Chains A and B, each alone.
Chain A
Amino acid sequence: MITERNYRKLHNLSVGYVGGKVSLEIIQKAVEIYGGDGLQDDVEYNAVLAKSFHDFQNNLPQEADIVKAILPGQTKVVDGVMYIWSPTKNGSKTDYQWHVVKKTSSKKGGILNRDIEDDDIDKIQSDVNSMFPKDLSVLKTLQRLGGSTGAVLVEDPAGNKFVMKKGSNTNNGHVKSEYLTNQLYDILGIKTPDYEMYEENGETVLLSKFIPLTKAPTSSDYGKMAQHFVADALLANWDVYMNDNCLIDAGGRVIRVNNGGALNYRAQGSTKPFDDNVVLSFNGMVSHNQAVYNTLSKNDIIKQIAEIKSKKSDIVDFLKESGQDSLAATIGKRIDNLSAIIKNVDLVEYLQGIKPKQRKLKSKNDMYRELTDKELTDLWDKAKNWGGNDSYGKIFGTGKHGWEMLNAICELRGFNARPTVISDDDYWKEVDNNKDNQIFRGISQDSRNKLSFADMAESLMFEDDCFWGTIGVYGEGLYAANGDKFGDKSGYQNSHQFREARSYARQNGSGFVVKGFIEKDAKIAKYNDLVNEIAKLRNSIIAKSGDVDDATKDKIKNLEAEGKKLAKELMQLKDEVNNFRKNKEKSVYDAMNYDPSSIQEMYAIDDSTDWDYVNAFGEREIPSFKDYVEGNMVKWVKAQGGDAKIGKGHVVFSLPDADTTLTVSKLQYDGPHSIKRKNAFTPGHNYAVNMFHDWMAKEKIERVSKAVDEEIEKSDDEFNNLVKSVNSKENEVKQKEYELNNIKSSITSGKNAKIDSDASLLNFIANRGAGEVVGLYAAIKGIDVIEAKAGSDLNYKVVLNRSKLVLSSKVDMV
């Protein structure tokens, strides 16, 4: 039975609806809330509705008792058309009648009888989410959750747990911003915990539903996390992929649980710039979340952008209706600017249209002369520019040329001069005479999105300044793939070497492959031969005043072997520490008959069900009660060791050790008011299904989560002992290093002597011995190309003299 007060509220809202101030969605929600429990399911009430509508359709007068009984704002769908019971204009015989629904926007302005208080609308909004306590004073604090925002875990008298964040910990604006971000994610269809915001004594408080048994994501979850990469960039949620801000729930779903560092706020509560430059946000997030980003293809990104653009009006309207006009404008522009992310350059045609300028090459004598000691010393001094005084920085320091030390050496020799670029037809003619030196170089998308494909291709093929790259386990230099078998014009894309280059090109999602060959007269040296030469260099650097005694040699050999053994053991212990929790979890799952895959299926099926779907006749179409409740839900409960009693029009579920059972009725599941929504812009959800999820979470998932925590706690000693072992092993390793360095420092001759790496370029190369420094050594010695074996019929050619390359102007996009 509706109270007089609530009836008046509904009447006022209906008047507001007619005046265009209140939306249909608000009215519908208000009818659900103020109409009283069960009225919408009441048979007699529905009979009244049917009678009234019948009279309306047949132009009969409405009976007075009927008019009084129907709730203002009541809606009804007949033959695919929605009608609303709303006030008529002045002068008609009845105050209310059925009217066809038309879309309204809630604008402020004069209406028929009286202004509607915005408070009424706000009140309805806050009443909608009935899963949250009405009053914060009933909440009991359970524990602090850590982190800079002072979040705490709280519990209501019914045992429901929430994460609470207060404005007093950071500031009210920060908390409101997180609330707003969550709402924006909702509109975008991206999962966050269920949430509600409160204002209490001038302090803003955010409550989010606590989700039990969540895990930090692993690399296998990156694909799922990346499904909303563009949206995260749009909202500038910088830290979303770190520090457990994204968690994986028992359903295997990604939940963005901590969104305080989005929009114009940092995670700790201070403000940050937030303007329409979404490309900057995107590029930044790509650079620092590559493992996540790399799971996306270019088409994925295009699709994500299209999806966000399709929701632009929902997002902007929502923000305006929330009084956030400035943010609405900024986000609207950011959405528009998403298109700039995708640069679709037709690289193949562009490059073939470039006319290469004439090259200026040094003479052969100049290119291959021996570098003087002074030149090498000057190089080492010059390296301060990119490496400071640190020898590591000088060798490995990178800048606009990639490896700067390599570039400096190659500039001296003229090795950085442009390659020869010829037409594709000419390439195939000329490479026929030089099959052994055919090469393919793969170039991937710039991970920082600062350089387009055209920029990178032009740099390699047409510009005098060379970019040498920044990675080189077989030596610093330009890497290309070369095969023992020649790749001809019709079949080169199937060759091992092309596929290798293509793999490189696709490292950041997409790229292109340049084909070419190395001139016949290029000086090529094998990687292993160069490593041996460096070893000889090492000996020649050391003072030749005799060798150490055998006892010292043995001591050094033993120390190195012991050190290596200890270092390996240390790594294995660290591995055990990292996997400790995972192993304990599994043992608990087995003991408690917990089936995670069934829980995942439970959530996945709900996510993939369109609860709003309406067929051509205006009737809602959702999975039947028999299939979903009597079928799926029963299956999921039984998979967790529970039971289900199927009655007439209802099912009673129970779980072992649960405090409560759950009954789901047909009326709850597919009755006229079974579909709810958070606000006007979010998709609908099935209330009975949500109840079921909540019950499963509370009675099973949470218990399992608690048991896991207890098991981990019980294993505290075991874990602490493991950590102690790691610390102890680390000390042992350090001790061995110390002893070894001490002995070597005291030796001034022989192969066991320690070389001062900081003293010169050649000293560092000699001490390091292999890897990147081999490229530097080769360049110093005037070698054009290093060859390293990479497989049975595959080689890497590490090019140090770019002028020895001949490239086709036609590239392959991959």
Chain B
Amino acid sequence: MEEKMLLSVQGGRVTPYLFTDKPSILIPFKGDFPIVSEFLMEEFYEQIQKNRYLDECENWVQEAVKKGEKIYTVDSAFRNYISDNNMSVEDFLKLSSKEKTEMLKKFMDSECLSLERLVI
């Protein structure tokens, strides 16, 4: 039977991406960042820790998590991809812009992603 996703999982995995102007150092996501102002960080954590499911949270938390998830899936997958190619994040960051773009493109092909995935 299908289980509804727990908020501690759904919210927890996106917290690294929400409060910063540049959600990912690896992928040039485009959007309105930070997704959540730092003023609301404490309240955000409270909501994630006290509720069980996302739909129990206030709308702004729900919207923030949904946006965060879009970043999370691509960013975490790309980190795995870099590691699978025997490269560290530092090595990747040292590549030229052209090389980074090539690698990102190959990754997106292997994951069946289009460029629109980078727009949040």
Contact = CB atoms under 8 A, between A and B. Distances in A.
Nearest to A563: B39
B40 to A, nearest CB: 5
B76 A398 contact: yes
Given A273-B109, A473-B48, A560 B39 contact: yes
Contacts of A285: 112
A473 B77 contact: no
Contacts of A266: 114
A412 interface: no
A287 B60 contact: no
Interface stretch (A90-98, A173-181, A193-201, A293-301): A293-301
A267 B112 CA distance: 12
A284 B80 contact: no
B12 A472 contact: yes
Contacts, number: 148
Contact of A575 (B11, B37, B59): B59
Contacts of A384: 89-90
A636 interface: no
Nearest to B48: A473
Q: Which of A387, A502, A730, A771 has the most CB of B within 10 A?
A: A771
A702 interface: no
B40 A281 contact: no
B3 A503 contact: yes
Interface residues of B, number: 51
Q: Which of A392, A399, A471 has the most CB of B within 10 A?
A: A471
B63 A504 contact: no
B30 interface: no
B110 interface: yes
Secondary structure type dominating chain B contacts: helix
A280 B110 contact: yes
Contacts of A89: none
Contacts of B22: 390
B66 to A, nearest CB: 9
Contacts of B36: 567
Given A384-B90, A397-B79, A474 B49 contact: yes
Contact of B2 (A239, A506, A572): A506
Contact of B112 (A284, A506, A736): A284
A772 B25 contact: no
A445 to B, nearest CB: 11
Contacts of B114: 238-239, 261, 266-267
B91 to A, nearest CB: 8
B110 A571 contact: no
B69 to A, nearest CB: 8
Contacts of A295: 2
A568 B40 contact: yes
B100 interface: no
A448 B74 CA distance: 11
Given A272-B109, A273-B109, A284-B113, A297 B8 contact: no
Nearest to B11: A473
Given A243-B116, A296-B2, A574-B63, A473 B83 contact: no
Interface string A525-538: 00000000000000
Interface string B87-119: 011100100000000000000011111101100
Interface string B1-43: 1110110110111011000101001000000100011111011
Contact of A238 (B13, B80, B113): B113
Contact of B111 (A239, A287, A736): A287
A239 B11 CA distance: 25
Contact of B77 (A242, A287, A507): A287
Contacts of A385: 88-90
Given A504-B9, A564-B43, A448 B90 contact: no
A770 interface: yes
Contact of B60 (A390, A574, A737): A574
Nearest to B79: A398
Contacts of A566: 39
Contacts of B20: 392
Contacts of A280: 110, 112
A224 B88 CA distance: 40
A7 interface: no
A594 B13 CA distance: 42
Interface string B60-76: 10011000010001101
B45 to A, nearest CB: 5
A503 B3 CA distance: 6
B2 A509 contact: yes
B45 A770 contact: yes
A571 B93 contact: no
A303 interface: no
Contacts of A294: 2, 5
B3 A571 contact: no
A474 B40 CA distance: 18
A568 B83 CA distance: 39
Nearest to B70: A288
Nearest to B58: A571
B89 A393 contact: yes
Contacts of B63: 571, 574-575, 578
Q: Which of B9, B13, B79 has the most CB of A within 10 A?
A: B9
B51 to A, nearest CB: 11
Contacts of B42: 770
A730 B22 CA distance: 17
A716 B116 CA distance: 27
A236 interface: yes
Interface in A559-588: 560, 563-564, 566-568, 570-572, 574-575, 578
B89 A281 contact: no
B6 A507 contact: yes
Nearest to A509: B2
A288 B90 contact: no
A301 to B, nearest CB: 12
B113 A563 contact: no
B64 to A, nearest CB: 8
Interface string A226-262: 0000000000101100110000000000000000010
A733 B60 CA distance: 15
A400 interface: yes
A290 B73 contact: yes
A560 B42 CA distance: 12
Given A385-B90, A473-B48, A733-B39, 17 more contacts: A238-B113, A242-B116, A273-B109, A297-B2, A385-B89, A388-B93, A396-B16, A397-B89, A400-B83, A450-B80, A470-B76, A473-B8, A473-B12, A506-B1, A507-B6, A564-B39, A566-B39
Closest 3 CB pairs of A and B: A571-B60, A506-B3, A284-B112
30 contacts: A238-B114, A239-B114, A242-B117, A243-B116, A261-B114, A266-B114, A267-B114, A280-B110, A281-B112, A287-B73, A290-B73, A294-B5, A295-B2, A297-B1, A384-B90, A385-B89, A386-B88, A388-B89, A390-B22, A395-B16, A396-B16, A398-B76, A399-B79, A473-B8, A506-B1, A507-B6, A564-B43, A572-B59, A737-B37, A772-B15
Interface of A: 236, 238-239, 242-243, 261, 266-267, 272-273, 280-281, 284-285, 287-288, 290-291, 294-297, 384-388, 390, 392-393, 395-400, 448, 450, 470-474, 502-507, 509, 560, 563-564, 566-568, 570-572, 574-575, 578, 730, 733, 736-737, 770-772
